[in-house]
Structures are given as C-alpha cells and as structure tokens.
Amino acid sequence: MTNEEKKIKARARVKAWREANLERAKAAIAKSKAAKPEKYKALQRSHYLRTKDIRKLYKKGWDERNPGKSERMVSEWNKKNPDRRREISNNWRKRNPEKVNAVYARRRAAKLRAVPKWANHFFIREIYDLAKRRTQVLGYPWHVDHIVPLTSPLVCGLHVEHNLQVIPRSVNQSKNNRSWPDMP
C-alpha cells in the first residue's frame, strides 16, 4: 500500500469517527481552540490565503448569475447598519493610512489640474466659507459640490466658482460623480 493510499484510508477513518461521535469531536475542537487560540488563528489565516483565488472565482461566477444582487444586498445592509458601517470604515482607514492619503492626494491633484488661470479664488474661498457657516448655523454638515464632477469617466468639470454649489452632505454623497445638469 502506497503512502497516498494510507493517507486516504486514514482520512476516511477519521471522517467516519467524527460522524459517529459528532458531539465529542466538537467538544474536543472547542477545547483545543481555547487552549491554543493563536494556533487556530494562524490556521484560519493560512486557509484564508490558500483559498483566496477560489473564493474570487466563485464570487465572480455568482455575480454573473445574479447581476446587481450583490450591490443591492450591500446597500441594504449599509442602510440597516449605519453605525457598524461607520465603524468598519474608520477601522479600515486606521489600518490603511497610506491608501487614504493616496485617495486624498489624487483628489487634490485633480482639483489643482482643474483650476484655470482665470478662476476667481476669492469667490471660491467665499463658497467654502458659506458651507462652513451653514454647517455651524443649521447644525448638520454642508459640502461644496462640483456641479459637473472633476473626475468622472464621462465628463470632467473645472474647479471654478461657476461650477460650485453648497448642498447638504447627504445630497452630495448620493450624487457620487454620477449626475450633473444636461447629463446624457
């Protein structure tokens, strides 16, 4: 009998014992996990890394079979759990400061590229001041919004006073670079 055959036979024996003694097996695993939590954490991590590509392929196939369902499910969960969503986002930002900085830097660079020489910087500063004052007076956040987005796959606007408006944060975040006047 080869080593491979021995391994297969041993696995079958262990599986049969586990099925016959399910409660004892669960108790033994729980006891072992409690005694060596770091060992099991390492095992879980290595399994997660080994099966990452398989999970990606499965997710891709599932998304193809269920178009749009994943986004709807995530959106519904986010609406039902705003505090948990905020906590997850904050934790991610703390763990990934370099990615957060890269996003902000890309935004600043896009804004700088979108400022023409003829832009009226005084009016632009006044618009930002207006947003700050509305936030203080009304008690909820207001944002300066680019009417035509600075970065979008379809159109790119300018950072000038005529392309800015002061709107509530919720309205601005719902736009998400997907809408502007005279949109096709």
Per-residue pLDDT, 181: 67
Per-residue pLDDT, 16: 92
How far is it, in rounded angstroms, from Cα 152 to Cα 171? 18
124: helix, strand or coil:
helix
Q: How confident is the model at residue 90 (pLDDT cuts 50, 70, 90)?
A: very high
How far is it, in rounded angstroms, from Cα 27 to Cα 30? 5
Q: Are 136 and 170 in contact (CB under 8 A)?
A: no
pTM exceeds 0.75 for this model:
no
Distances (CA, A) of 46 to 7, 11, 17, 43, 95: 22, 21, 26, 5, 20
- Which residues lie closer than 8 Å to 175 by C-beta, 6 or more apart? 145, 149
Q: Are 163 and 147 in contact (CB under 8 A)?
A: yes
Q: How confident is the model at residue 179 (pLDDT cuts 50, 70, 90)?
A: low
Q: What is the pLDDT of residues 9-68, one digit of tens each?
A: 999 999 999 889 999 989 988 888 888 889 888 999 999 999 999 999 999 999 999 998
Q: What is the CA radius of gyration of the chain?
A: 27
Q: Which single residue is written with the structure tokens 């944060």?
A: 169
Q: How far is CA 174 from the centre of its chain?
A: 16
